[in-house]
């Protein structure tokens, strides 16, 4: 039956720093123009109009004067609008390491293991996965069964941003149980902001797996750079960062160079990011701090602890040992970027 | 085993059956009796519930997509009209004439007719747009009379009546279920005001209070016609139709 209260409601919209301007112009002035945007795409996912990513891999809104509805959703969810940088290792319940027995691959295998164990537990009914095509462009998929993953054989670390959060919103709209998602620290922060602002995300996004991240690249820039370095994308097997060197393994060759050389194409958003371990996630996964083949696993919340206990109970993963002190270098390395954050 | 033997006819019996056969032949020559309908010059009278070509009334359609969801043959495709509303189109190349769509339409926007003889030259023509569904198709008919089957004691006979069958059945439309739009998750509203923009009856209002930076949203339950446009367009999918 219709009641009066369900037909009337009130929404609090944020204050505008620049009065008389649209919310998008506020976002642009505070985040995009100051080069703080990490391109996590939280704003793109929530925008009811046409906020998008342009060809230069930046967040943009063509003809915003006409089409912006001025709802303020973008500034409500942007993790860099009123940026409160997070750093360090954060709170955790268990610091350990694991090696998935079911999934092969780089550090993503342990993240995949978490999502699939959560699906097996009935905690979630779909996970958001990133795959790549022949040209190493990223594509985002909803995966509901393990067999589906076998059809996505091109796993491995991509070091390229993917449109995870826009797909997450679609998944939230579709799911009946819950969604699990894997993301970089900036994406995790975006998801947490979405959850703070909108209860539907709080209810439906049940497991957020964060990845250790020093930086991530934009496809157009990194592909151009790697081609100059002699990387043939059609032959590329995997990319990795080992001991300060970027290694691109091809079927017949290997291209190696120092990571510092990539600083020229380092996205400006990463320059102000101080979060290495995805402090806000339910569980963080990364290769640093554990033996080769293992992934360091930082279990932070009760939900993730349940999934981790389930993984151990079912014997889905080999349990190893994590070394907290090995993370210190990269945590401090990222903390130094605090000085790059412009005054607001 | 029993052996069937031919009856032993006498000469008078044989004569009697011959005369009877000649009599029947003479009767059929003068007043022929058959159960063949001379289609297309005449047509059989169809029952009022005959499931034939469908007609569509856009005034009654609430764009609920129920017809396209229920269609087991995937023959119905909802297409956007210039007004932003979605209306059904029927691919008669796929339609199996089950009329689940007619039965499930909450606003009686789809109704059935007795028309079953639309001819198409190509497969593409069988895709019938919304505009074509509004008016009955133009068919040149030769039929002059309607034919009825009559079961007359022992023979199944045909009775030729003088009237012409009305192919478009006038059915009293069902009043439909009165619906209203309501928000099911008010906390997740982003105040994009799209619902207010699309509402044709002016039931949705969004008032921005600049002083307190709040937006007052309300859906007038009296004005709301339950068309479901806002439910479809809501970017967070938090509006839903409820019974009034």
Residue A120 lies in a domain: yes
CB of B182 within 8 A of CB of B219?
Answer: yes
Three-state DSSP at A85 gives: coil
Query: CA-nearest residue of chain A to B237?
Result: A173
Pick from A13, A20, A34, A11: nearest CA to A341? A34
Residue that terminates a domain, selected from B104, B131, B161: B161
Closest residue by Cα to residue B57 from B133, B168, B138? B133
Residue A1 has pLDDT above 50, yes or no: no
Within a domain: residue A64? yes
**A4 found inside a domain:** no
Centroid of chain to Cα B169: 11
Distance CA B233, CA B229 (A): 6
Q: Between A2, A73, A173, which is nearest B190 by CB?
A: A73
List strand residue ranges (DSSP E) for B31-103, in order. Answer: 42-44, 54-56, 76-80, 86-91
Do A186 and A282 lie in a common domain?
A: yes
Phi-psi bin for A241: left (phi > 0), alpha (psi -120 to 50), beta?
A: beta
B63: which 2 tokens? 């764009």
Q: How confident is the model at residue B142 (pLDDT cuts 50, 70, 90)?
A: confident
Distance CA B133, CA B128 (A): 7
Question: Residue A110 corresponds to which tokens in the numbers above?
Answer: 């342990």
Report yes or no: A233 and A134 within 8 Å, Cβ to Cβ: yes
Q: Structural domain of residue A123, as residue ranges?
A: 94-217+260-340
Q: Find out whether A322 and A98 touch, Cβ atoms under 8 Å.
A: no
Best residue in A4, A13, A43 for a mutation probing chain B (most B CBs within 10 Å): A13
Higher pLDDT, residue A161 or A307: A307
pLDDT over threshold 60, residue A4: no
pTM of the complete model: 0.77
- Claim to verify: residue A61 and residue A124 sit in the same structural domain: no
B151 and B184 housed in the same domain: no
Q: B182: which chain A residues are within 8 Å (Cβ-Cβ)?
A: 2, 6-7
More confident residue, B109 or A256: B109
Q: Tell me which chain B residues have a C-beta less than 8 angstroms from the C-beta of A8.
A: 216-219
Q: Band of the pLDDT at A5, cuts 50, 70, 90?
A: low
Tokens of A160: 């390229």
pLDDT band at B129 (very low <50, low <70, confident <90, very high): very high
- Cβ atoms A129, A109 nearer than 8 A: no
Does residue B26 lie in a domain region? Answer: no
Higher pLDDT, B27 or A132: B27
Chain B positions touching A73 (Cβ under 8 A) are 190-192
* Structural domain includes residue A7: no
Instruction: Tell whether A71 is within 8 A of chain B (Cβ).
Output: yes
Within-domain flag for B216: yes
Q: Show Cβ contacts of residue B168 under 8 Å, excluding neighbours closer than 6 positions.
A: B55, B113, B114, B115, B136
Residues B147 and B214 in one domain: no
pLDDT band at B155 (very low <50, low <70, confident <90, very high): low
Q: Are residues A271 and A176 part of one domain?
A: yes
By residue range, what is the domain housing residue B198? 179-243
A267 near A218, Cβ under 8 Å?
Answer: yes
Considering the domain architecture, whether residues A200 and A236 belong to the same structural domain is answered as no
Does residue A325 belong to the interface with chain B, where contact is any CB pair within 8 Å? no
| Residue that finishes a domain, picked among B108, B129, B161 | B161
pLDDT at residue A330 tops 70: yes
Q: Is B213 on the interface with A (CB under 8 A)?
A: yes
Work out the widest C-alpha separation in chain A, in whole angstroms. 70
Of B214, B215, B244, the CB nearest to A2: B244
* Least confident segment among A131-135, A178-182, B141-145: A131-135
Tell me the pLDDT band of B73, cut-offs 50, 70 and 90.
very high
Q: Are residue B51 and residue B90 in the same domain, yes or no?
A: yes
pLDDT class of B94 with cuts at 50, 70, 90 = very high
Is the domain of A297 the same as that of A205? yes
Q: Is residue A121 part of a domain?
A: yes
pLDDT band at B53 (very low <50, low <70, confident <90, very high): very high
Is residue A148, in this structure, part of any structural domain at all?
A: yes
One domain for residues A228 and A315: no
Distance (Å) from the alpha carbon of A8 to chain B's nearest alpha carbon: 4
- The mean per-residue pLDDT over the stretch B218-235 comes to 86
The better pLDDT of the pair A147, A175 is held by: A175
Is residue B166 less than 8 Å (CB to CB) from chain A? no
**Residue percentage of chain A with pLDDT more than 70:** 95
Q: Which residues of B touch A76 (CB under 8 A)?
A: 190
pLDDT tens profile A14-61: 888 887 888 888 888 888 888 888 888 898 899 888 778 777 777 888
In a domain, A3, yes or no: no
Are B73 and B119 in the same domain? Answer: yes
Question: Is A85 exposed, middle or buried, given 0-12, 13-18 or 19+ CB atoms closer than 10 A?
Answer: middle
Residue B21: is it exposed, middle or buried by C-beta count within 10 angstroms (0-12/13-18/19+)? Answer: exposed
Same domain? B132 vs B211:
no
Q: What is the pLDDT of residue A256?
A: 83
Residues B117 and B184 in one domain: no
Q: Is B31 a member of any domain?
A: no
Average pLDDT value for residue range A138-162 = 74
CB pairs under 8 A between A and B: 82
Residues paired with A11 in a beta bridge: B215
B30 within a domain of the structure (yes/no): no
| Residues A127 and A111: beta-carbon distance below 8 Å | no
By mean pLDDT, which of A67-81, A101-115, A186-200, B4-18 is the weakest?
A101-115
Which residues in chain A are closer than 8 Å to B237, comparing Cβ atoms?
173
Give residue A71's pLDDT. Answer: 86
The residue of chain B with its CA nearest to that of A75 is B190
Which residue has tokens 């691109």? A248
CB contacts, 8 Å: B236 with chain A: 198, 200
Chain A residue numbers with beta carbons less than 8 Å from the beta carbon of B194 are 48, 69
Q: Which residues on chain B are in Cβ contact (under 8 Å) with A69?
A: 192-194
Q: A286 and A227: one domain?
A: no
Q: Does A79 touch chain B (CB under 8 A)?
A: no
Both tokens assigned to A106: 């780089």
Across A62-69, average pLDDT: 84
User: Which one of B188, B217, B221 has the shortest CB-CB distance to A200?
Assistant: B188
Q: How far apart are the first and last CA of chain B?
A: 76
Instruction: Give the separation between CA A231 and CA A253, rounded to whole angstroms.
Output: 9
Share of chain B above pLDDT 70, in %: 97
Assess if residue B25 is contained within a domain: no
Together in a domain, B157 and B184: no
Residue A62 has pLDDT above 80, yes or no: yes
For residue A156, name the pLDDT band (cuts at 50, 70, 90): low
CA distance A72 to chain B (A): 8
> What is the helix, strand, coil percentage profile of chain B, to 5?
20, 25, 55
**pLDDT value for A152:** 64
In this model, does residue A303 exceed pLDDT 70?
Answer: yes
Is residue A89 situated within a structural domain?
no
Q: Are residues B191 and B157 in the same domain?
A: no
Residue B223 in domain: yes
pLDDT digits (tens, 9 = 90+) for A218-245: 888 888 888 888 787 777 777 777 777 8
User: Residue A159 and residue A81: Cα distance in Å, rounded?
Assistant: 25
Which of A6, A71, A199 faces B190 most closely, judged by CB atoms? Answer: A71
Of A234, A259, A284, the domain-final residue: A259
Contact B165, B114 (CB under 8 A): yes
More confident residue, A106 or A276: A276
Domain count, chain B: 2
Mean pLDDT is highest, among A28-37, B74-83, B166-175, for B74-83
pLDDT tens sequence across A314-323? 988 888 888 8
Q: Is A45 helix (H, G, I), strand (E, B) or coil?
A: helix
Q: Among positive and negative, which fits the CA dihedral A88, A138, A195, A103? A: negative
Q: Which residues of B touch A198 (CB under 8 A)?
A: 187-188, 190, 236
Higher pLDDT, A205 or A63: A205
Residues B150 and B200 in one domain: no
- In a shared domain, residues B157 and B57: yes
Q: Among candidates B160, B162, B157, which has minimal Cα distance to B28?
A: B157
Identify the pLDDT of residue A262. Answer: 78
The residue ranking higher by pLDDT, A70 or A5, is A70
Q: How far apart are CA B218 and CA B232, in angstroms?
A: 17
- Residue A1 touches partner B, C-beta closer than 8 Å: yes
Residue B158 scores a pLDDT above 80:
no
Q: Do A171 and A187 belong to one domain? A: yes
Instruction: Using alpha carbons, select from A188, A222, A341 the residue that is nearest to residue A271.
Output: A341
As a whole number of angstroms, the longest Cα–Cα distance in chain B is 118
Give SS3 for B5: coil
Give pLDDT, residue B14: 92
CA dihedral B195, B199, B202, B206 (to 10 degrees): 10
pLDDT over threshold 80, residue B89: yes
A273 and A189 fall within a common domain: yes
| Residue B92 lies inside a defined structural domain of this protein | yes
Residue B5 domain-assigned (yes or no): no
Cα angle for residues B227, B233, B234 (degrees, 5° grid): 110
Statement to judge: residues A32 and A119 lie in one domain = no
Mark which of A229, A259, A289 sits at the end of a domain: A259
- The mean predicted confidence, pLDDT, of chain B is 86
Q: What pLDDT sits at residue B152?
A: 67
Assess whether pLDDT exceeds 90 at residue A100.
Answer: no
Partner-chain contact B217 A8, CB within 8 Å: yes
CATH of the domain at B219: 3.30.70.20
Closest alpha carbon to A232 in A252, A218, A217? A252
Same domain, B195 and B142: no
Q: A201, A236, A259 — which closes off a domain? A: A259
Residue B175 or A168, more confident: A168
A321 to chain B, closest Cα gap in Å: 41
Asked if B144 and B183 sit in the same domain, the reply is: no
Q: Is A113 left (phi over 0), alpha (psi -120 to 50) or beta?
A: alpha
Answer whether B129 touches A (CB < 8 Å).
no
State whether A1 and B188 contact (CB < 8 Å).
Answer: no
- Residue B100 has what pLDDT? 94
């Amino acid at each position: 039956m219709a009641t009066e209260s369900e037909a009337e409601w009130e929404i609090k919209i944020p204050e505008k720093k620049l009065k008389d301007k649209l919310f998008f112009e506020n976002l642009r002035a505070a985040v995009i123009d100051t080069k703080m945007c990490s391109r996590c795409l939280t704003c793109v996912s929530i925008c009811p109009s046409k906020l998008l990513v342009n060809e230069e891999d930046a967040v943009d809104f063509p003809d915003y004067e006409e089409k912006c509805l001025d709802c303020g959703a973008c500034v409500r969810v942007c993790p860099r609008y009123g940026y409160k940088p997070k750093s360090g290792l954060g709170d955790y319940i268990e610091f350990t390491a694991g090696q998935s027995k079911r999934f092969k691959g780089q550090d993503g295998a342990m993240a995949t293991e978490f999502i699939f164990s959560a699906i097996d537990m009935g905690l979630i009914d779909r996970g958001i996965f990133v795959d790549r095509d022949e040209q190493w462009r990223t594509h985002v998929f909803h995966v509901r069964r393990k067999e589906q993953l076998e059809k996505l054989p091109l796993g491995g670390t991509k070091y390229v941003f993917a449109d995870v959060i826009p797909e997450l919103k679609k998944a939230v709209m579709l799911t009946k149980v819950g969604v699990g998602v894997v993301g970089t620290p900036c994406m995790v922060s975006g998801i947490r902001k979405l959850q703070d602002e909108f209860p539907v995300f709080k209810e439906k996004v049940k497991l957020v797996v964060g990845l250790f991240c020093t930086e991530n690249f934009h496809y157009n820039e990194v592909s151009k750079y790697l081609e100059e370095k002699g990387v043939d994308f059609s032959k590329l097997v995997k990319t990795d960062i080992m001991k300060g060197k970027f290694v691109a393994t091809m079927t017949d060759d290997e291209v190696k160079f120092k990571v510092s050389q990539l600083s020229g194409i380092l996205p400006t958003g990463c320059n102000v990011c101080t979060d290495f371990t995805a402090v806000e996630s339910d569980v963080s996964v990364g290769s640093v701090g554990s033996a080769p083949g293992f992934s360091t696993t930082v279990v932070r919340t009760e939900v993730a602890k349940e999934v981790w206990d389930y993984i151990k109970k079912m014997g889905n993963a080999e349990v190893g040992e994590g070394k907290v002190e090995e993370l210190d270098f990269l945590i401090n390395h990222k903390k130094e970027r605090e000085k790059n954050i412009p005054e607001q | 085993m029993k052996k069937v033997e031919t009856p032993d006819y006498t000469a008078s019996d044989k004569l009697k059956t011959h005369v009877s056969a000649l009599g029947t032949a003479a009767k059929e020559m003068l007043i022929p009796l058959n159960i063949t309908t001379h289609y297309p010059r005449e047509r059989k009278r169809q029952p009022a519930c005959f499931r034939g070509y469908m007609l569509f009334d856009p005034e009654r359609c609430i764009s609920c997509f129920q017809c396209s969801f229920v269609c087991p043959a995937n023959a119905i495709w909802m297409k956007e009209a210039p007004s932003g509303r979605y209306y059904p189109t029927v691919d008669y190349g796929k339609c199996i004439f089950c009329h689940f769509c007619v039965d499930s339409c909450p606003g009686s926007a789809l109704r059935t007719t007795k028309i079953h003889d639309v001819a198409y030259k190509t497969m593409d023509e069988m895709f019938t747009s919304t505009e074509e569904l509004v008016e009955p198709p133009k068919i040149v008919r030769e039929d002059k009379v309607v034919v009825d089957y009559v079961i007359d004691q022992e023979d199944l006979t045909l009775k030729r009546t003088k009237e012409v069958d009305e192919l478009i059945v006038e059915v009293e439309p069902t009043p439909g279920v009165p619906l209203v739009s309501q928000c099911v998750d008010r906390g997740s509203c982003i105040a994009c005001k799209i619902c207010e923009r699309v509402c044709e009856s002016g039931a949705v209002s969004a008032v921005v209070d600049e002083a307190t930076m709040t937006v007052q949203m309300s859906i007038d339950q009296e004005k709301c016609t339950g068309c479901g446009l806002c439910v479809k367009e809501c970017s967070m999918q938090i509006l839903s139709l409820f019974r009034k």
